[in-house]
Structure 1
């Protein structure tokens, strides 16, 4: 799992990686912490690259993703990118190790 902070880093990733998961994580929200823990567990067992941002530290990047890919910003939020577009996304309690694995399976 790798943390991204800039739009440039993300754009480079989006051009070269397929598929990949990305999570928007709030450093102050307990629901976000629970979702992030699920994401970490999934990432530890998955071959798919996994990335994240901390919303408080990377608001320009968070907004860029929402605007570019037309996915309303939520936090926490998990997004599966495939073929340079959003294939799946979920937020809050819907972010689980099981839901991430199912999203990946459905979008192969």
Structure 2
């Protein structure tokens, strides 16, 4: 799994456009939260087994880029949480899960 960093709000529109060609996920991560670290580690371990190779993973360090995190929440009409995984497909958020409730099998089902 190779994360692609999100560092500015302009990337949100690019991600929306990209998601019209291939699904993407955005993982919002708090680098100071143990639950977030656990969720990130779990994602990385389970990614290949979940069969999500066709989905492009984006990563947001929300402590460094909190305004971008807020913009993502507003742009995709989801409540901000951390950790949080959003599946973006056809320019819209099709799935969002947070904390240890993130379900990669559900992501795969919707992404396919």
Partner of 1:7: 9
Partner residue of 2:26 out of 22, 45, 58: 22
- What is the CA distance between 1:61 and its match in structure 2? 1.0
**Residue 83 of structure 1 is aligned with which of 75, 90, 93?**
90
Which 4+ residue blocks in structure 1 deviate beyond 3 angstroms? 42-45
Aligned equivalent of 1:55:
62
Give distance in 2, aligned partners of 1:75 and 1:38. Answer: 15
Q: Provide, for residues 33-89 of structure 1, a one-character-per-residue CA deviation record: whole Å limited to 9, x for no partner.
A: 011112222445531110110111111110001111110000000000111001000
Q: Secondary structure at the match of 1:66?
A: helix
TM-score by length of 1: 0.87
| CA distance in structure 2 between the aligned counterparts of 1:80 and 1:35, rounded to whole angstroms | 16
- Structure 2 residue aligned with 1:104: 108
Length, aligned pairs only:
105
Across the aligned residues of Structure 1 and Structure 2, the Cα RMSD in angstroms comes to 1.5
3-state SS of paired residue (2:35): helix
More divergent stretch after superposition (67-76 vs 1-10) = 1-10
* Gapped regions of structure 1 (runs ≥ 5): none
TM-score by length of 2: 0.84
State the distance in 1 between where 2:10 and 2:110 align: 29
